[in-house]
Structure 1
Amino acid sequence: MISKKGVLTVCSVLVLTSVLGCSSPSSEGGEAKSDKPLVLTWMRYENPTQPFSASAEIIPEILKRKNVQLQIQAIPQNSYDDKKKTLIATNKIPDVILVKQDDISSFSDSGVFLDLTPYLDQLPNFKQLLQEYPEIGKNQIDGKWYGFPLAQNFAASQSGQVPMIRVDLLKKWNLPTPTTYDELYLVLKKLKEAYPEAFPFASRAANGLTGTENLINPIAFAFGSGYTNATGAKVYFDPVLKQYKFGPAMPEFKEAIAYLHKLYKEKLLDPDYATSTSQVWQEKLSSGKSFYYQDNTGLGANFNATLRKKDPEARFDMLPMLAAGKGVKRVLLYRLDHLQESYVVNARVKEPEKVLRFIDWLYSEEGMRLTSWGIEGQHYSHENGKYQISESFVSRFKDKADPAGAMKSTLGTGYNGLALLADDQPNLAAQAKEMQEWTEKNNQFLSNGYAFRMAYDPSFTKDEREKLKQLRTQLDAYLTQNMDKFIMIDGLLDEEWDSFIKQCKDKGAEEIEHIFNTALARVK
């Protein structure tokens, strides 16, 4: 059954109907059919596991119901961040574009994004969402709203940056299941001996983070420190200390880099980690060129499906919680929602009221059902208050490497499709068995205090935003130029680390840390 969270009340439906008006015959809750369609250019990144195109089955249904013609611009995820920032900086964004909260914070003062605040009374479903998800309040900029965040109505899985390894190879070579990072190192060495051409540990650039950032983040956190937040700012929120820290200044961070250097030196770490895209990374792990990763748990199910076509015994599985130095045991899990990813509207868009009413409809019960389940009678049924994805529809994707991703790709549904309020229940019907097992294990890690969900950042004042732009520009550039050297070059950690940290502080590391903690204190 669909959760009550995010679902429209009867009152909201009546308000929405009165706002839209019904001056002429229209589709269910939609604009008048006699009107010309509202044409919207709509840009977002394309997840490698869920291609997104204009042929998605719910797009013509949206035209039918809402008289809105979506022109989808799906950009490959590995190049999306650069494309997005170029369009924002040159004020050439499409009508609607998916951004991170960091983009809103950086560019809200430029006037490129439409200020939603004057329109709130016309957006009953969005207002309802704000009441049900108080944490969205962190997304305000000087008390104003600029973005429509992606929210979660029901989560079918819990994934995170958890150690994943080819357990069939452990069995084949009679290797013990590692319980510490030192033991993992020994296992990776044995796998390298067995497969000299392979690089056991693979990593990638993803989600707007560089390959270096995405490699360091889970390892540094596991060792008791951290590197970046979700937007790439070089501070991380420590859930034990309850504050933001500049991780590289901590001794635990240096230990993590020393560990990665050892893996790199002995060719246990993929030497292309800094530039490897998601597609290349997935190919290595699903073809037997690499055997370990510490990234999205759920993608292991896709690798398993591909590997099993050649070897029925091949299988990635989660490792027990690995202990680092000083007995630290912890991992980062993803949030169940995506509140710091939002759609923003071009400030120069024509007919902004119509555009905003359509986006508001995507948060409604009808909008949520369509963008999460598809079309009733074709893709799912609704009987006695219960929703059920069609078995005959799901069966079309049973032979795909990622059945759930292929199903949502065909429909255009879910977070990687058009959903703003996502109900993930349809995923359960197509979800691989191991995904459900890993969700249970991740939730158990949360219960045991070993796992922490990634934090959302607070909002900043105008002065803080300006200062962060200045400081981040110089610090980010310095770290990007230098961090890989400590992983790749022998002896550099002992020779240059202290002066490196001093340079980081001179370029604003401690000021950034202070700004983040000052902003955090305002919302505690």
Structure 2
Amino acid sequence: MQTRIFGGRHKHNPFESPAEFATGTTDQVNAEISKGNHMVAWGYPSKIDSEMNRLSRNENPEASWTWAKAMPSSNPERATYFKRNPLYNADGIGFSEDASDEVTERFMDYMDWLHTEEGMVFRTYGIEGVTYTKEGGNYVFTEQMSSPLKSEGKTLTNYGFVVFGRQHPNMNEYYYPYLAELEKTFLNREGYYYFNSPVMTYTDEESSELADITTSLNQTAQQYYAQFIMGYLDPENDKDWDSYIQTMKKLGLDRFCEIRTQVYERCNKK
């Protein structure tokens, strides 16, 4: 669920009730925007030009999205949290059991090279004079190539590239300057913090048990979220909140926390 908050020139909430707010239609949203209200949405800054402005302008030619330099917080006096990309992801490289040591070492040498300056340029931009040119300190895709600024054109896969490894930092500096600005804004601002997600390696038994519990917890949490947003339940009411917590406990919330804690402590011993 994407959270949307309306504000801007008008100081009041344009929607009369939580239910109306939660079920606002596209026409209602556009009507409020046309009155001078602004819209705040959670999203990826990298999609501002490629998706958000392009799609919004189908309805409103004057639509203009920008990223907010102040993150909403339920307790701004204490601190404001923002999420940073983890140091790892689910798209890692694996080796088959019959891969020889020679093959494995050769591949690892290649991966090491991909993280050098030369390797990052090769992985990100391809072949100089063919897929990119060097303009001052920037690497720029040639006219026949697609880029973050235009979707039409060839990609590196058309030239036989299998793209993995580390992206060259100049890509964001040249094509997405606001991403570099965004990082500097949050990393250097007092009161903002983030944490790197810890490595969590589960046994088959832990993964199986956790998957069953997580499915039930997520489904029930979504049901309660909807009732809180629609105003049928009040999270500030102790009875309503306790009912939510007790329901989650019956579905295995305590066991969920226990497994996650055990795995964290096992995988992150100092």
Cα 1:456/1:318, change in 2 over 3 Å? same
Map of 2:168 onto structure 1: 423
SS in 2 for 1:443: helix
Cα 1:474/1:308, change in 2 over 3 Å? closer
Map of 2:96 onto structure 1: 346
Rounded to whole Å, the distance in 2 between the matches of 1:450 and 1:471 is 38
2:198 corresponds to 1:457: yes
- Taking structure 2 as the reference length, the TM-score comes to 0.66
Rounded to whole Å, the distance in 1 between the matches of 2:153 and 2:82 is 26
Cα 1:367/1:425, change in 2 over 3 Å? same
Quick check: 2:71–2:80 contact (8 Å CA) kept in 1? yes
Map of 1:370 onto structure 2: 122
Aligned residue pairs, count? 243
Quick check: 1:300–1:316 contact (8 Å CA) kept in 2? yes
Structural RMSD (CA): 4.4
2:184 corresponds to 1:484: no
- 1:229-258 CA-to-partner distances (Å, cap 9, x unmatched) read xxxxxxxxxxxxxxxxxxxxxxxxxxxxxx
- 1:459-505 CA-to-partner distances (Å, cap 9, x unmatched) read 54xxx624532441332122133111102232386172131243255
Cα 1:306/1:492, change in 2 over 3 Å? closer
Map of 1:447 onto structure 2: 188
Cα 1:502/1:390, change in 2 over 3 Å? closer
Q: How does 1:354-365 map to 2 (within 5 A)?
A: 354=103, 357-358=106-107, 360-364=109-113, 365=116
2:10 corresponds to 1:175: yes
2:129 corresponds to 1:294: no
SS in 2 for 1:473: helix
Gaps of 5+ in 1: 1-162, 177-185, 194-261, 272-283
Quick check: 1:380–1:390 contact (8 Å CA) kept in 2? yes
Cα 1:344/1:175, change in 2 over 3 Å? farther
Q: How does 1:82-481 map to 2 (within 5 A)?
A: 170=8, 174-175=9-10, 189-190=13-14, 265-268=19-22, 291-302=39-50, 303-308=52-57, 311=60, 313-319=62-68, 320-325=70-75, 327-335=77-85, 338=88, 341-347=91-97, 353-354=102-103, 357-358=106-107, 360-364=109-113, 365=116, 366-381=118-133, 388-390=138-140, 393=142, 402-403=148-149, 406=151, 410-412=155-157, 418-429=163-174, 431=175, 435-437=176-178, 439-458=180-199, 460=201, 465-466=203-204, 468-481=206-219
Q: Which amino acid aligns with 1:502?
A: K
Cα 1:483/1:336, change in 2 over 3 Å? closer
Q: Which amino acid aligns with 1:503?
A: K
Q: Which amino acid aligns with 1:343?
A: I
SS in 2 for 1:318: coil
- 1:175-198 CA-to-partner distances (Å, cap 9, x unmatched) read 35xxxxxxxxx5xx42x58xxxxx
SS in 1 for 2:188: helix
Rounded to whole Å, the distance in 1 between the matches of 2:183 and 2:137 is 27
Q: Which amino acid aligns with 1:266?
A: E
Quick check: 1:373–1:380 contact (8 Å CA) kept in 2? yes
Rounded to whole Å, the distance in 2 between the matches of 1:337 and 1:458 is 9
1:344 CA displacement:
1.5
Quick check: 2:126–2:132 contact (8 Å CA) kept in 1? yes
1:450 CA displacement:
4.1
Rounded to whole Å, the distance in 2 between the matches of 1:520 and 1:348 is 27
Quick check: 2:132–2:140 contact (8 Å CA) kept in 1? yes
Rounded to whole Å, the distance in 2 between the matches of 1:423 and 1:164 is 34
Q: Which amino acid aligns with 1:268?
A: A
Identity of matched residues, %: 14
- 1:13-72 CA-to-partner distances (Å, cap 9, x unmatched) read xxxxxxxxxxxxxxxxxxxxxxxxxxxxxxxxxxxxxxxxxxxxxxxxxxxxxxxxxxxx
- 1:290-340 CA-to-partner distances (Å, cap 9, x unmatched) read 944213222123222444577553111233222315745423233385466
Rounded to whole Å, the distance in 2 between the matches of 1:477 and 1:420 is 33
Q: Which amino acid aligns with 2:166?
A: L
Rounded to whole Å, the distance in 1 between the matches of 2:120 and 2:79 is 38
Gaps of 5+ in 2: none
Quick check: 1:335–1:453 contact (8 Å CA) kept in 2? no
Rounded to whole Å, the distance in 1 between the matches of 2:190 and 2:203 is 34
Which one has a larger percent strand, Structure 1 or Structure 2?
Answer: 1
Quick check: 1:371–1:418 contact (8 Å CA) kept in 2? yes
